[in-house]
Amino acid sequence: MPSSTERAPVGTTGHGLTTGTVARRLGVAPTTLRTWDRRYGIGPVRRQGGAHRRWTAEDIAVLERMCELTSAGVPPAEAARTALGTTSGSRAPAATHPVRPALPAAPVRSGAEPEGPAADVARHERRGLTSAALRLDSRTIDERLSAAIGRYGLVAAWDQVIMPTLHAVGRKWQTSGERYVEVEHLLSWHVSSALRRVAVPPAAGDDGAGPALLACTPGETHTLPLEALAAGLAERGLGVRMFGASVPGEALSEAVRRTGPSAVVLWSQSRNTAARPLAHHVTSIERGVRGARTRPAVLIAGPGWAGAPLPGTHRPRELGEAIRMLTGLCAR
């Protein structure tokens, strides 16, 4: 019993949590919990007053495992058997905390990329990641992102799992008024964190120099595709300088003059931010002594650059193509 200065959490009794409270915590509908209880026995061991459900920590641990498995695309009946820890239909004692599978961290690779997922596997991966994002389940989002990158390689994970999920979540809130904005923000933050974990740590004594300079055009705030490119290059041992969102034109030009990169990548998500005069100007920036001056290769990336080609620039269409192009340019 709480003291006079303490209050029990809303939705709790001395015997556990109510179904409504548990549903809100897990991000599922109360009717789903009742259906799982009725069909698969995923319900509270103890009931109060005959039929009133009161969920203990052990019950919630089983529920969390059930949510994790169904999010990964496991059929509910099979997920229930696994979550209960038995195929006999009887409740096995549940652990106080949910048992989560050990998922591999994204390894540093120096050879060929692993094979990407088959179409049906990619669908399951996207469904699981979307479900975790809708539940605002940070831990599962992190686990699923690291696992996808580790299993399939950065490029395949980005093209077949991460980017389609980001687009799906974006469409969901765009068609639902102001709902789900928090879902997109949370997922984007975790994707950014996962991409940074992929990058190879700098070698001792590295001054941060890199042959490629990456920047969003003025007014452009969508950085995730550039972050994926930075991770893909770092994964291959190529240094990058990442300048991030909405870099002013003068600042970008000065950075190119000061650092003399082999290549500059300018990202634009929409035509409103596709600064064609700036891209043309960057192609003309020279560095070095007279008679041996060099100019950077300029890559214009992103859907904002659609339309007439921009002379003197390269336009990769996909992440893998951009990585291959920059690998060749920076190796010269």
Q: What confidence tier does 72 reach under pLDDT thresholds 50, 70, 90?
A: low
Residue 83 confidence class, pLDDT cut points 50, 70, 90 = confident
The number of beta carbons lying within 10 Å of the beta carbon of residue 61 is 17
Instruction: List Cα–Cα distances, 332 to 30, 72, 128, 139, 318, in angstroms.
Output: 61, 44, 42, 42, 22
Tell me how far apart the alpha carbons of residues 225 and 188 are, in angstroms, rounded to a whole number: 11
Distance CA(185)–CA(223), nearest Å, equals 13
Residue keyed to tokens 């991409």: 195
The enclosing H or E element of 280 equals helix 276-283
Residue 7 has what pLDDT?
A: 36
The maximal CA–CA distance of the chain, rounded, in angstroms, is 91
Cα pseudo-dihedral 125, 129, 131, 133, rounded to 10: -170
The average pLDDT across 59-66 equals 84
Q: Which residues contact 141 (CB under 8 A, 6 or more apart)?
A: 129, 132, 133, 186, 187, 190
User: Strand pairing of 212-216 and 47-48?
Assistant: unpaired
In tens, the pLDDT along 113-136 reads 555 677 888 888 899 999 999 989
Span 38-47, pLDDT tens digits? 778 888 865 5
% the chain with pLDDT above 70: 72
Contacts of 39 (CB under 8 A, 6+ apart): 76, 77, 80
d(C-alpha 99, C-alpha 259), whole Å: 49
Instruction: Outline where DSSP puts E strands in the chain.
Output: 12-13, 16-17, 47-48, 52-53, 212-216, 240-242, 263-267, 297-301, 313-314
Q: What pLDDT shows up at residue 186?
A: 92
| Averaged pLDDT of the chain | 76
* Calpha distance 101→78 (Å, rounded): 16
Residues 19-36: pLDDT tens digits? 888 877 776 677 678 778
Tell me which of 32-41, 57-66, 185-194 is least confident.
32-41
**Interval 151-173 mean pLDDT:** 86
Residue 215 confidence (pLDDT) above 90: yes
Q: Which residue has the higher pLDDT, 156 or 7?
A: 156
The pLDDT-based confidence of 256 (bands split at 50, 70, 90) is very high
Asked whether the predicted pLDDT for residue 257 surpasses 50, the reply is yes
Report the b/e string of 216-233 with b at 16+ CB within 10 A: bbbebebbbbbbbbbbbb
61 near 76, Cβ under 8 Å? no
At residue 282, the pLDDT reads 92
Strand extents, DSSP E, 156-234: 212-216
Q: Which of 172, 171, 9, 118 is nearest to 18 (CA)?
A: 9
| Per-residue confidence (pLDDT) for residue 115, from 0 to 100 | 57
**Predicted confidence (pLDDT) at residue 267 exceeds the cutoff of 80:** yes
The answer to whether the beta carbons of residues 157 and 148 sit under 8 Å apart is yes
Mean pLDDT score, 73-77:
67
- Fill in the amino acid letter for 121: V
1, 11 contact by CB (below 8 A): no
pLDDT at 268 over 70: yes
Highest mean pLDDT among 42-56, 70-84, 89-103, 254-268: 254-268
Determine the Cα–Cα distance for residues 299 and 265; give it in Å rounded to an integer: 5
pLDDT grade for 161, boundaries at 50, 70 and 90: very high
Both tokens of residue 93? 């004692």
The DSSP call for residue 216 is E
Angle between helices 30-40 and 19-26 (to 10 degrees): 110
